[in-house]
Amino acid sequence: MWLPCRCTTKYVAASIRRGVSASFLHVLRRGRSSWNSAAFMPESAGFEGVSGRDALHDYSVSHSENFWAAVARQRLNWIRPFDAVQDCDLSQGRIKWFEGGKLNVSVNCLDRHVHTCPERVALIWERDERGSEVRYTYRELLEMTCRLGNLLRRHGVKKGDCVTIYMPTCPLAVASMLACARIGAAHNVVFAGFSSEALAERIRDAQSSTVITVNQGVRGGKITELKRTVDAAVQSCPTVRQVFVAMRTEKRVEMADRDIALEEEMLKEDVVCEPAAMDSEDVLFLLYTSGSTGKPKGLVHTQAGYLLYAALTHRYVFGYHDGDVFGCVADIGWITGHSYTVYGPLANGGTTVLFESTPVYPDPGRYWDMVERLRINQFYGAPTAIRLLIRYGDQWVKKYDRSSLTTLGSVGEPINTEAWEWYNRVVGEGRCPVVDTWWQTETGGICIAPKPSEPDAEIVPGMAMRPFFGIKPVLMDTEGKLLTSNNTSGALCMAQPWPGMARTIHNNHQRFLETYFHPYPGYFFTGDGAYRSQEGYYQITGRLDDVINVSGHRIGTAEIEDVVVSFTLFLYPYHICDAVCSDEAHLSDFILIISVTQFAKRLPKTRSGKIMRRVLRKVVDCDLEGLGDLSTLDDPAAVQEIIEGHEKVLSK
């Protein structure tokens, strides 16, 4: 990992300045209270005594059922209204929302918008080849989805089946997801960069009989043989009966008996497809996320609650309005792609960008060129890409007109102060709020983010800050006791259920209970640590299983990395054996003394850019047998480099 040079004193000064300006803004804010919650959120018109964002949040938590009932009735189209808002018990890990209700997710994402504005653009496919974007209207996307739904039905896919989708981010992938939703099948999107073994493991666990793929993928100017990967994977998947193959490139690929040419067959289908009436709690999709050991977990999301939560967060965290162009650059293989490229924007009748390329192809100006060309209003990306782009210099950003931008989002890992400031100052020219959004595959949608808030409310760099409507975060100490004061750090848990949460782990409810509900009985445990500031704002400090104990203080990797960014160092943070700090100081103001440092060209990262710290820890512990599930690694060679580097350090 290359870290840009910055001196520590500047860092400390910046963090002090941050504190000063934060409290100054706080005073400014108190002087005003002109917020009209009904104008802000029409659903809240009937909530008594609610004026202001804080009051609306309080209401959403204290009158959770009223809040979610009103939002669900108004924001979703129901075939049959629900009987009960919720039936949840966190102590039992039971989560059910809107039971008795029936709806169809694809109707909510497509048909209702086709009725009001058929020619509105639903998707802008930003293809890998720069400047060759393709637009699809709601009418076209509905047609594509219906043809695909009919095709799947004709080939025996039924309600309750699970279809594995191994495709790059493209319109047919979106239509495949929606076609599954239309006919009541669950989908299981597997990131189209995973190896055949990783794919096979997910197909087997999901018990899919149908796979949808493309002949070849195109990303960063490189061709990948996706069909070939599927061929290799299905060798060890006896459940697979059929593989639908779409054509991303002209190249013909070998077709076996089980293979079906997707576009050709779609053309034979009708453009009308009867939507299945689904129960609120029927499965919408599985999405696998890597577990720290052993098998990946297939998290299960259901229909109504998930869709509602994705739609509401998309609308309010990003301030999305009709006519805006929303640019989430995450791959559809991740939960971010599910919730903020597909379901949230489409449920809101929005225009969403499907980004097929990489931030540096054909050059490091790709994102901003795209912002200019597509007139993107909200841009949602990952800190790892931001840090990469900082290295190439501001000129790649400034070259392009970014005046369309109104909000910048960040997700996936803590955004260090330097990256936050660059994003805000250089990309957003200081005029776009930066929303550092904290959430997980398990949470379905954003849980903590600076927005929504009152227009002049402060935003503190590098902090996710405020819980979303209906979200009640709490911090726990190591003994499992609730930490009630501010200016404190602990394990981040949720004290109340919300509609977007995952319902189980496919085929392994016990693991679901053990991972998320047993550690702190009565609470949902996120696995992350957080700091709650004096003002009550949350800052995520990183995975708790990555915590380092320094002189009795638990320090998260985010805090260390924020400080370490000050040096030109290649470092992994497991040899930190001492630290000097003052008790009152916020952890990130620690001065760390690093006794042993290993230099590495790169760190082992997942495909979505997260550092696989447990792998580093195992290397440091010389436990090479226990490296665990490596299927989500971007480049396994990085692990070998680290192992070799570690051997050199030891031999010194």
Count of residues engaged in binding ligand WTA, rule: CB under 6 A: 21
Q: Which long-range contacts (CB under 8 A, 24 or more apart) does 314-317 make?
A: 314/339, 314/340, 314/344, 314/345, 314/347, 314/348, 314/350, 314/445, 315/344, 315/348, 316/41, 316/451, 316/452, 316/468, 316/469, 317/409, 317/435, 317/437, 317/446, 317/449, 317/451, 317/452, 317/468
Could you tell me the CA-to-CA distances from 508 to 298, 365, 505, 615 in Å, in that order? 9, 44, 5, 25
C-beta separation of 219 from 248 below 8 A: no
Q: Between 138 and 525, name the residue whose CB sits nearer to ligand WTA.
A: 525
**Closest by CA position to 465, among listed 438, 428, 443:** 438
Q: What is the 3-state secondary structure (H, E, C) of 167-179?
A: CCCCHHHHHHHHH
Q: How far is the CB of 412 from ligand WTA (least distance, A)?
A: 5
Q: Between 179 and 464, name the residue whose CB sits nearer to ligand WTA.
A: 464
How far apart are the C-alpha atoms of 562 and 559, rounded to whole Å?
Answer: 5
Q: Between 140 and 436, name the residue whose CB sits nearer to ligand WTA.
A: 436
Q: Between 151 and 449, name the residue whose CB sits nearer to ligand WTA.
A: 449
Choose the stretch contacting ligand WTA; rule: CB under 6 A; options: 248-256, 320-328, 523-531, 570-578.
523-531
Q: Between 440 and 534, name the residue whose CB sits nearer to ligand WTA.
A: 440
**Closest by CA position to 191, among listed 168, 173, 214:** 168
Q: How far is the CB of 443 from ligand WTA (least distance, A)?
A: 8
Pairing of strands 134-137, 102-103: unpaired
Q: Between 364 and 542, name the residue whose CB sits nearer to ligand WTA.
A: 542
Decide if residue 411 touches ligand WTA (CB under 6 A). yes
Q: How many helices (H) and strands (E) does the chain have?
A: 22, 30
For the record, the structure tokens of 622 come out as 């010389």
Q: How far is the CB of 417 from ligand WTA (least distance, A)?
A: 13
How far apart are the C-alpha atoms of 186 and 160, rounded to whole Å?
Answer: 6
Decide if residue 543 touches ligand WTA (CB under 6 A). yes
Q: Between 239 and 508, name the residue whose CB sits nearer to ligand WTA.
A: 508
Give the residue, chosen from 259, 418, 528, 559, that forms a contact with ligand WTA under the rule CB under 6 A.
Answer: 528
Q: Which long-range contacts (CB under 8 A, 24 or more apart) does 35-39 make?
A: 35/454, 35/455
Q: How far is the CB of 542 from ligand WTA (least distance, A)?
A: 6
Q: How far is the CB of 601 from ligand WTA (least distance, A)?
A: 24
Q: Between 279 and 413, name the residue whose CB sits nearer to ligand WTA.
A: 413
Q: Between 70 and 459, name the residue whose CB sits nearer to ligand WTA.
A: 459
**Closest by CA position to 169, among listed 342, 286, 318:** 342
Q: How far is the CB of 517 from ligand WTA (least distance, A)?
A: 16
Choose the stretch contacting ligand WTA; rule: CB under 6 A; options: 30-38, 53-61, 435-443, 509-517.
435-443
What x/- string results for residues 452 through 491 when contact with ligand WTA is judged by CB under 6 A? ------------x---------------------------
Q: How far is the CB of 453 from ligand WTA (least distance, A)?
A: 16
Q: Between 175 and 435, name the residue whose CB sits nearer to ligand WTA.
A: 435
Peptide bond preceding 455 in cis form (omega within 30 of 0): no
Decide if residue 537 touches ligand WTA (CB under 6 A). no
> Which residue has 């089946």 as its token pair?
161
For the record, the structure tokens of 140 come out as 């076209």
Q: How far is the CB of 511 from ligand WTA (least distance, A)?
A: 16
Q: Between 516 and 590, name the residue whose CB sits nearer to ligand WTA.
A: 516
| Beta partners for residue 410, in sequence order | 381, 436
Q: How far is the CB of 529 from ligand WTA (least distance, A)?
A: 9
Handedness of CA 232, 235, 237, 243 (dihedral sign): positive
What x/- string results for residues 597 through 626 when contact with ligand WTA is judged by CB under 6 A? -----------x------------------
Decide if residue 540 touches ligand WTA (CB under 6 A). yes
DSSP 8-state class, residue 254: -
Where in 305-364 is the site for ligand WTA (CB under 6 A)?
334-336
Choose the stretch contacting ligand WTA; rule: CB under 6 A; options: 138-146, 227-235, 438-446, 639-647.
438-446
Q: Between 365 and 473, name the residue whose CB sits nearer to ligand WTA.
A: 473
SS3 (DSSP) at 246: strand
Decide if residue 436 touches ligand WTA (CB under 6 A). yes
Give the residue, chosen from 193, 412, 444, 452, that forms a contact with ligand WTA under the rule CB under 6 A.
Answer: 412
Max CA pair span of the chain:
71
Decide if residue 413 touches ligand WTA (CB under 6 A). yes
How far apart are the C-alpha atoms of 306 and 175, rounded to whole Å?
Answer: 18
Q: Between 209 and 608, name the residue whose CB sits nearer to ligand WTA.
A: 608
Q: Between 377 and 441, name the residue whose CB sits nearer to ligand WTA.
A: 441
C-beta separation of 524 from 500 below 8 A: no
C-beta separation of 224 from 193 below 8 A: yes
Q: How far is the CB of 540 from ligand WTA (least distance, A)?
A: 4
C-beta separation of 389 from 364 below 8 A: yes
How far apart are the C-alpha atoms of 210 and 293, rounded to whole Å?
Answer: 28
How far apart are the C-alpha atoms of 542 and 316, rounded to whole Å?
Answer: 25
Give the residue, chosen from 78, 439, 517, 538, that forms a contact with ligand WTA under the rule CB under 6 A.
Answer: 439
Q: How far is the CB of 530 from ligand WTA (least distance, A)?
A: 9
Where in 270-299 is the site for ligand WTA (CB under 6 A)?
289
Q: Between 469 and 531, name the residue whose CB sits nearer to ligand WTA.
A: 531
Q: How far is the CB of 610 from ligand WTA (least distance, A)?
A: 6
Q: Which long-range contacts (CB under 8 A, 24 or more apart) does 574-579 make?
A: 574/548, 574/616, 574/617, 574/620, 575/620, 576/548, 576/550, 577/550, 578/550, 578/551, 579/550, 579/551, 579/553, 579/555
Q: How far is the CB of 537 from ligand WTA (least distance, A)?
A: 13
> Which residue has 């197909």 as its token pair?
203
Give the residue, chosen from 441, 453, 496, 504, that forms a contact with ligand WTA under the rule CB under 6 A.
Answer: 441
Q: Tell me which residues touch ligand WTA (CB under 6 A).
A: 289, 334-336, 411-414, 436-441, 464, 526-528, 540, 543, 608
